Amino acid sequence: MTPRCDPCAESRKWIARFSLRSMTALYVSPLAAIQLTRAEIDAITKSIQQFQLGEGSKGQRLLDRGKIYGREVHDPFFAGALDLFIKEEQQHSRYLKAFMQSQGIPVVGRHWVDSIFRKLRGLAGLELSLTVLVTAEIIAMPYYRALRDATGSPVLKNICKRILEDETTHLRYQASMLARLASKRRCALDRAIVTLRRFFLSCTSVVVWSGHRAVFQAAGYDFARFRQEAFFEFDQMESCRKTVALAMDASRDHAERVPQIWKPNEENALKPRETSTQ
């Protein structure tokens, strides 16, 4: 019996969320704003340049893989949701760029950490691309909290607040995509992959701390707190992934029990109530 569960429901839900969110995008003026102090500029410049570059990725290979996967699972909306997600990331890059312009911080075209992340994303299939991406998203949570607190700029605080709200949604979105990709995987293999993801996050957190220490320290973070927050986000994302996987299994089981030809008893349903006539 062919399952009746809708393969597009999850993608449609995300298209609606991302579309609505795009309607409330911030406007950040690139013109002169309240200037940061010299110490604040020194603490954030290299770091914000790198994050602005990373957020602006076109994500073309990810999108191509999403189109292939969408065709495989008969979900024509999968790539559309992915496209809106990538556009939201690019919007983060534009927020940061406008703020940098207002502070006279130049934009950079290349950074070795960004290049490594892009290469890793290009190495294998959709799931590995998403694993690399989700690691960057997890790291982004403590990073933008630290950037928010590292300066006294109300504009930068507001940008970080907005990005943090978006990133929270992105982690849920990626948890849902990873749940779909791993839906038929055995438990033991799944546990091994989660362990590898934790190891990758652990290595990435060391690299990020060494490159962005100035921002974290300006916000009062030490490495232990940064790592603890990153792994908290990882555990939240994993828990969300398992919840979505269970919901998908339940929906599939239910769909398999529903009779293929559903015939509501329309005659009875439409029959007017008998009214007592006197």
The contact set with Fe ion (CB under 5 A) reads 55, 89, 92, 137, 167, 170
Residue 9 CB, nearest distance to Fe ion (Å)? 22
From residue 93, give the alpha-carbon distance in Å to each of 28, 73, 99, 139, 189.
11, 32, 10, 16, 36
Q: Which is nearer to Fe ion, 105 or 140 (CB)?
A: 140
Q: Which is nearer to Fe ion, 57 or 102 (CB)?
A: 57
Q: Are 92 and 156 in contact (CB under 8 A)?
A: no
Q: Which is nearer to Fe ion, 93 or 251 (CB)?
A: 93
Rounded distance, CA 265 to CA 220, Å? 66
Residue 51 CB, nearest distance to Fe ion (Å)? 8
Rounded distance, CA 183 to CA 164, Å? 28
Residue 93 CB, nearest distance to Fe ion (Å)? 8
How is residue 202 written in tokens?
A: 């652990």
Q: Are 52 and 93 in contact (CB under 8 A)?
A: yes
Residue 47 CB, nearest distance to Fe ion (Å)? 14
**Is residue 189 packed enough to be buried (19+ CB in 10 Å), middle (13-18) or exposed (0-12)?**
exposed
From residue 83, give the alpha-carbon distance in Å to each of 14, 57, 177, 195, 251.
11, 12, 13, 29, 26
Residue 170 CB, nearest distance to Fe ion (Å)? 4
Q: Which is nearer to Fe ion, 36 or 237 (CB)?
A: 237
Q: Which is nearer to Fe ion, 94 or 185 (CB)?
A: 94
Q: Which is nearer to Fe ion, 54 or 70 (CB)?
A: 54
Rounded distance, CA 113 to CA 208, Å? 9
Residue of minimal Cβ distance to Fe ion: 170
Residue 115 CB, nearest distance to Fe ion (Å)? 18
